[in-house]
Structure 1
Amino acid sequence: MSDHRPTTTDRRTILKTTGAIGALAGVGAVTSASASRNSTEIIVSKNDRVSISDIESTVETVLPNDATITHRNDVLGYVVAEVPESEYGVTVDLVSTLESRSEVKYAHENGTMYALESPLSPNFRSQNQPNDPGWDQQYAPQMVNAPDAWNVTHGEDALISIVDTGTDYDHEDLHAGFGSDPGHDFVGGTSDPAPRAASESHGTHVAGCAAATTDNGVGVAGPSNAQLIAARVLGTDGSGSMYDIADGIQYSADRGADIINLSLGSPSPSPVTQEAMQYALNQGSLPIAAAGNSGGSVGYPAAYPEAVAVAAIDSNGDPASFTSRGPEIAVCAPGVDVLAPVPFGDSYDRFSGTSMASPVAAGVAALGASAHGLTGNNKDPQQLRNLLRGTADSIGLPGSIEGDGLVNAAAIVDGGGGDPPEEPTAVIDVSTTTPEVGETVDLDGTSSSSPNGSIDEYHWNAQPGGEVTSPTATLTRDEEIAVDVTLTVTDTAGASASDTVTIVFGGDDDDDDPEPGECGEETNTASASGSLDGGWYGDTDNYTYDVSTANPCDATVTLSTSEDFDLLVTTDVPTQPARSTADTANADEITVDLDGVDNLGIVVRAGYFASGEYELDILERGK
């Protein structure tokens, strides 16, 4: 996107706003040295099984040679290490490395606490006000409530990919977010995603809008401190080929990006880009895209349903004059006169464009991903999309401009919005439902499943009888009696579901048995399970069921799922049923007449972009 640049602020102007807040005296038996402005401190706590000397040795091994241990507390079992400014950019990596050691209980950067009513300074507005000297010249992080979100997380474990022009990963306000492998240059075919000229400033500014390092004593603050990678897909003139952009999106997904920011676009559709975004979603990455600066309809790739399209507003909450608009808009974010880094010389500038609004929204999404554990192997782009949109606040603009509203960092980390956990499926596998008196019945709940993750708890309840908590159980009775056994499962998201089976000791329950010659005197059952990924065109699983009772009369096919899936059945195999089949489509349970039928064709079909698991059960009845 082209950007409007009405004003320019260099680093010297920003630094003029810096002022000392003042010193507070510590209270307590243990005192600590404060890190200088040229260093940062890391607190490292030991596990109970090691000594304070052991943890000192570990810290000295992991930290750089010029880091020093400045304090230790033998009672609480921690040490404080001071890391020089030259190593500040890898602080997050150092903390992660320390926490991966078995002898380390936890590690984190040092911070400051204040008495809640202590008068620190007339300009002190929040205990989360960072020490970045340009903070008072910013409005974007404040407008999206980032300081309140920082009580929960700064988003350090989320990874944002900047698919853009080159990014100055050595910039003083960005280098902390980049690791040793900052990204790839798809324009020049090199491994260095840095800009090639000072005029190539777009990618650096976009990266700063999302994750300029907060509270590092220089420059400005981004809404998040997310990790960053860069894919240089646009050249020094700000343009790039669609396939380079598609390659950059794929690369970002393969690198494990939780969020892919796309501050670029065209009025023309780009199927290869859409395909790349679908790939990214399948890999767990959420594309967030700038809506466009035409003032007209939303451009591509933002207009594709795979993307979260972001429109721009100004500091007053009014629509930016240039922002594109339309039904595709998901959310809005600050995008006018946004102050952020630009390349070479650790400089800063104010840019305007939906190119700025998109990464602000991406930074808020990173906070949400971090707060809800939707990063790394647990990333879930659909849940993250729901959280970002569901926690946005309407600011009274038309839906074509604000979508669901202004992104809200404080709300997204609190967990509002998004879909509630889906219901798991409880399944009881039983060795027999009509045992003899004294016979042991085996009960197995391990076929239970959940779309939210694994099953954490299995609770069996027998009435009359007792209770047991385990994946499997046994049941026996010394008298003729019918026992109702209920299994309740609870998954990692805290959602529960139950299944009940009646076990009749001493033989069949005659009251429920069909009379000879009635439909149901003979039965046969079958089941299957699977998962579908709907995508743009939908996805299907096809089954064939062979009728097996001697005198079949009917069969009931049941689909169990929380997703937008269709169940379709035909008695004309091998012809598979069409979606428009009037008496079978859009049903969860279908009963068909088996008179003269040898087999059934069954299709489970996903709706567009519906993805998840399902269970399929067949009950065939004969006379």
Structure 2
Amino acid sequence: MSDDSTQRFNRRTFLKATGAAGAAAAMSGVAAATPGREPGPKKDEILVGVSAGKGDVEAKVSQHVPGNAEVVHTNDNLRYAAVKFPSSASDKAKANFIDAVTKKDGIKYAEPNKTHTTQLSPNDPRASDQYAFKQVQSDDAWDTTLGDSSVTIAVVDTGAQYDHPDLQANYKSNPGYDHVDNDSDPYPDVPSDEQHGTHVSGCAAATVDNGTGVAGQGNTSLINGRALDENGSGSTSDIADAVEWAADQGADIINMSLGGGGYTSTMKNAVSYAVNNGALPICAAGNNGSSSVSYPAAYSECMAISAVDSNENLASFSQYGDVDLAAPGVDVLSTIPTDSYAKFSGTSMATPVTSGVAGLTLAKWSLTVSELRSHLKNTAKDIGLSSDKQGAGQVNAYNAVTTDPSNGGGGDDPTDPGDGSTTETVSGSLSSSYDYDDYEWNWEYSSPSQIVVELSGPSDADFDLYVNEGTTTAASPSNYDYRSISTDSQESVTIDNPDTSTPLQVDVDSYSGSGSYDLTFTEYQ
């Protein structure tokens, strides 16, 4: 509880339901990959999520798998299993399995292992100059800091040429992991065909002031989680595993210049895991020019980045809508294999420019995930586009490193949000599945920039979080504006520019199991 004597939340209702508590089960926290899994799209697989407290993931799922299918992969941290059907299996057979298995006790969800692709639109050959770092004023920020090797950006992408002359100084000595081929070397299998991850790496952190080639946004450490194949395509499971791996490596920022496939619980759980473990996912809005952003950018945990050109106009290909920031993404010059350079276009390029600025920001200020997100938006430059095209504005490195975040949302001490925010925690307990507690959050600020609601519950139970804004109707599993429903009890909902016309409605719901929890509200000015 905050030292502030004014309690800004109140328990709306406190209802208890009877029922047996779920059995406890240990989580190994280690993803198990099956040797020989083919890289790239996995259209014949169904991902099945198992609630915490419901036993071993593989054992739980295997008992429900039909004879013509098999469990080929598990991730015990994210608590899902991949079930592979033969290529001859019909879509109806897979749909029947999804329908049947989700009715089984302890099965949280089942969904196709969807395909994601790079967000790149190749353009003309190499130009003789760069404009991206100048447009976001990274060069002006370098008078304050060139970056810090203690800050890490994880590039979840194709493989990267980590020994490129313009990248090797910033890539860590252990450069990453290949989740496609399941080995410890993320180097491109065929460098001439696999350029995307190297280009993205250079947009973020090609070595500054080394007398070689181009400059990224700052000298931040890089690691590469290879999750896309040579064609720039990858499965939900490979990407989710790479996001989890990046968070476990201590990444501060996870760059995801990829999209497609729509909403999946598996990917939602992965980005939630990243945020809960101190990593900010920054994602490409997408390249089909539509008025809504692609997933994973559309998840509330992620920052969605649109692309603008050198005249600060929205790129013709850039998706827009619920974007957070804009950044240069047209004809961006960067590194490619082997030891070379090229100009590419896409929200794939705007995203690592933003990630690089975020890394430069963390070299100057010590910020939590929520504080970094707010600070990047608070210091963005208005370039005259509508908010659905630029979000808070074009990311601006100079403003980000020279503006003290404690003056408007965030502070140097990650345990103290500072004068620009307020935080309070309430503790409670749920006795069994279907038990729930409802709360209201009464706003401290008239126009807050962000509210973060975080749930921390027992490791052997599956508690979920539901939130409504702009209404007096209590949130619930059947009525919510936002939700976080991972297979464990670590949940988080982030709302930018929330509706303060009514108190925020929050529901803590037990999907399975029982125990105590902490619910934390952090409101940013």
Which of residues 115, 122, 142 is equivalent to 1:5? Answer: 122
Question: Which shows bigger deviation, 396-405 or 284-293?
Answer: 396-405
Distance in 2 of aligned mates of 1:399 and 1:211: 28
Structure 2 residue 411 is the aligned partner of structure 1 residue 413 = no
Deviation at 1:4, TM superposition (A): 2.4
In structure 2, give the amino acid aligned to 1:322.
F
Relative distance call for 1:418 and 1:238 in structure 2 (3 A) is farther
8 Å Cα contact 2:375-2:410 kept in structure 1: no
One of 143, 160, 164 as aligned partner of 1:167: 160
**Aligned residue type for 1:153:** T
Contact persistence 1:184–1:231 (CA under 8 A):
yes
Distance 2:124 2:442 in 1: 59
2: CA distance, partners of 1:299 / 1:340: 24
Distance 1:193 1:405, change over 3 A: same
Q: Larger radius of gyration, structure 1 or 2?
A: 1
Q: Does 1:185 align with 2:302?
A: no
1:215, distance to aligned residue in structure 2 (A): 0.7
Q: Following the alignment from structure 2 to structure 1, what is the Cα–Cα distance between the partners of residues 351 and 421?
A: 37
Match of 2:279 among 278, 281, 285: 285
Task: Report the Cα distance in structure 2 between the residues aligned to 1:3 and 1:422, rounded to whole angstroms.
Answer: 33
One-letter amino acid matched to 1:151: D
Per the TM alignment, residue 256 of structure 1 is displaced from its structure 2 partner at its CA by: 0.4
Which residue does the alignment assign to 1:234?
228
Aligned equivalents of 2:255, 2:180: Cα separation in 1: 18
Amino acid across the alignment from 2:377: R
8 Å contact from structure 1 (residues 564, 606) kept in 2: no
Selected match of 1:541 from 424, 428, 431: 428
- Give 1:604 deviation, angstroms: 9.5
Q: Match for residue 92 of structure 1?
A: none
- The CA deviation string for residues 22-61 of structure 1, in whole angstroms up to 9 with x for no partner, is xxxxxxxxxxxxxxxxxxxxxxxxxxxxxxxxxxxxxxxx
Which residue, out of 193, 199, 202, partners 2:193?
A: 199
Whether 1:399 aligns to 2:387 is: yes
The residue aligned with 1:221 is: 215
Query: Are 1:312 and 2:307 an aligned pair?
Result: yes
Residue in structure 1 matched with residue 147 of structure 2 by the alignment = 155
1:350 is the counterpart of 2:343: yes
Of 92, 115, 134, which residue of structure 2 is paired with 1:142? 134
Could you give the per-residue CA deviations for residues 480-506 of structure 1, whole angstroms, max 9, x where no partner exists?
xxxxxxxxxxx7958999xxxxxxxxx
Q: Which residue of 2 aligns with 1:369?
A: 362
| Cα distance between partner residues in 2 of 1:330 and 1:559 | 24
Identify if the C-alpha distance between structure 1 residues 404 and 560 changes in structure 2 by more than 3 Å, giving closer, same or farther: closer
Q: Which of 283, 289, 294 is the matching residue for 1:295?
A: 289
Which amino acid is the alignment partner of residue 307 of structure 1?
C
How far is the alpha carbon of 1:541 from its aligned partner?
1.8
Poorly superposed stretches of 4+, deviation over 6 Å: 494-497, 558-566
* SS in structure 2 of the partner of residue 292 of structure 1: coil
Deviations 1:106-127 (A, max 9, x none): xxxxxxxxxxxxxxxxxxxxxx
Give the TM-score, by structure 2 length.
Answer: 0.58
Retained in 2: the 8 A contact 1:312–1:353?
A: yes
SS in 1 for 2:233: coil
**Alpha-carbon distance between aligned partners in 2 of 1:273 and 1:565, rounded to the nearest angstrom:** 20
Q: CA deviation at 1:422?
A: 7.9
Q: Is the 8 A contact 1:253 1:284 kept in 2?
A: yes
How far did residue 330 of structure 1 move?
A: 0.3
For 1:280, give the aligned amino acid: A
Q: Distance in 1 between matches of 2:183 and 2:517?
A: 46
For 1:456-467, list aligned pairs within 5 A. Answer: none
Asked if the contact 1:155–1:367 (Cα under 8 Å) also holds between the matched residues in 2, the reply is yes
- Distance of aligned partners of 1:275 and 1:292 in 2 relative to their CA distance in 1, 3 Å threshold: same
Per the TM alignment, residue 5 of structure 1 is displaced from its structure 2 partner at its CA by: 2.4
Residue 354 of structure 1 aligns with an amino acid whose one-letter code is: T
Superposed CA offset, 1:302-345 (max 9, x none): 0111110000000011111000011x20000000000000012x
The alignment partner of 1:175 has SS state of coil
Q: Secondary structure at the match of 1:289?
A: strand
Instruction: Flag the 1:163–1:420 CA change in 2: closer, same or farther, 3 A.
Output: same
Query: Displacement, 1:415?
Result: 2.4
Counterpart code for 2:314: P
* Structure 2 spans left out of the alignment, 5+ residues: 1-117, 432-439, 445-450, 455-466, 475-501, 505-515
Cα distance in 2, alignment partners of residues 175 and 201 from structure 1 = 16
Contact 2:406 2:418 in 1 (8 A): no
Deviations 1:549-603 (A, max 9, x none): xxxxxxxxx999977789xxxxxxxxxxx9968xxx959xxxxxxxxxxxxxxx9
What displacement does 1:233 show? 0.1
- Structure 1 unaligned residues grouped into runs of 5+: 15-136, 375-379, 424-449, 454-490, 498-528, 533-539, 545-557, 567-577, 588-602, 613-623
Report what 2:255 is aligned to.
Answer: 261
Q: 2:441–2:503: 8 Å Cα contact kept in structure 1?
A: no
User: Per the alignment, do residues 162 and 561 of structure 1 end up closer, same or farther by CA in structure 2, a change over 3 Å counting?
Assistant: same
CA offset at residue 199 of structure 1?
1.1
* In structure 2, distance between residues paired with 1:543 and 1:339: 54
2:310 matches 1:322: no
In structure 1, what is the Cα distance between the partners aligned to 2:452 and 2:349? Answer: 35
> Which letter maps to 1:187?
V
C-alpha contact (below 8 Å) 1:224/1:367 kept by paired residues: yes
TM-superposed deviation, 1:394: 1.0
> How much has 1:370 moved relative to structure 2?
1.4
Matched with 2:326 is 332
Task: Find the partner of 1:244 among 206, 228, 238.
Answer: 238
Partner Cα separation in structure 2 for residue 408 and residue 351 of structure 1: 21
Q: Is the 1:332–1:405 contact (alpha carbons within 8 Å) kept by the matching residues of 2?
A: yes
How far, CA to CA, are the matches of 1:277 and 1:413 in structure 2? 26
- Counterparts in 2 of 1:364-513, with a 5 A limit? 364-374=357-367, 380-415=368-403, 420=408, 453=415
Whichever residue aligns with residue 168 of structure 2, its letter is: H
Partners of 1:408 and 1:496 lie apart in 2 by 22
Per-residue CA distance 1:193-239 (angstroms, 9 max, x = gap): 01111110000000000000011011000111110000000000110
Instruction: Using the TM superposition, give the Cα deviation of residue 8 of structure 1 relative to its aligned residue in structure 2, in angstroms.
Output: 1.5
